[in-house]
């Protein structure tokens, strides 16, 4: 059996393509993108957006090329949820936004080997 050919894109490029697709999708749905890839000591927030009067913290998960075992949705585990919530708390504190309504969404993106979007799924208020 021959080994799978290596992808011409690295993990960072695949993640950036998925995050770009998610941001474009969210903007087309009326979200205002405030931040992308916001980092603090506790971790990273992929997308921070506003919708209506609330803030939405969006975790973007992706798969590219041959699907790995499990779905992108299944990769949002308890550890990831905890990390996103902790980072969101830091964001709210640093930006003095503690009084804002907050929600946490997940956008999953299945990419073709050439980084074109095969499927995008938005889960509102995922956790």
For the chain, the average pLDDT equals: 89
Structurally, the chain folds into a number of domains equal to: 1
Domain coverage including residue 65: 11-123
Half-sphere exposure of residue 75: CA atoms within 13 angstroms, side-chain side: 15
5 within a domain of the structure (yes/no): no
Residue 101 lies in a domain: yes
DSSP string, 21-63: HHHHHHHHTTPEEEEEEEEETTEEEEEEEEETTEEEEEEEEEE
Given a contact cutoff of 8 angstroms between Cβ atoms, the answer to whether 49 and 26 are in contact is: yes
pLDDT given for residue 67 in this prediction: 56
Nearest alpha-carbon partner for 109 in 55, 49, 56, 65: 65
List the single range of 57-61, 74-78, 79-83, 101-105 with lowest mean pLDDT: 74-78
Averaged over 62-75, what is the pLDDT?
Answer: 72
Any domain includes 90: yes
CATH of the domain at 68: 3.40.1350.10
Interacting residues of 25 by C-beta distance below 8 A, sequence separation 6+: 107, 120, 122
Task: Say what the pTM is.
Answer: 0.86
Look at the block and give the residue holding tokens 């930006």.
Answer: 95
- Measured in whole angstroms, the distance separating CA 102 from the mean position of its chain's CA atoms is 16
* pLDDT (mean) for 58-70: 77
| Least confident residue range of 3-7, 9-13, 30-34, 102-106 | 3-7
21-56 confidence digits (pLDDT tens): 999 999 999 999 999 999 999 999 999 999 998 999
């Amino acid at each position: 059996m021959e080994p799978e050919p290596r992808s011409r894109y690295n993990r960072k490029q695949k993640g950036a393509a998925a995050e770009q697709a998610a941001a474009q999708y969210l903007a087309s749905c009326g979200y205002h993108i405030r931040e992308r890839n916001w980092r603090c000591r506790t971790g990273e927030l992929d997308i921070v957006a506003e919708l209506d009067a609330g803030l939405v913290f969006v975790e973007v998960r992706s798969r590219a090329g041959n699907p790995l075992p499990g779905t992108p949705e299944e990769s949002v585990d308890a550890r990831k949820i905890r990390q996103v919530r902790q980072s969101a708390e830091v964001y709210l504190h640093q930006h003095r936004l503690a009084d804002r309504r907050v929600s946490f969404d997940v956008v999953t993106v299945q990419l073709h080997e050439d980084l074109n979007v095969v499927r995008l799924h938005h889960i509102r208020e995922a956790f």
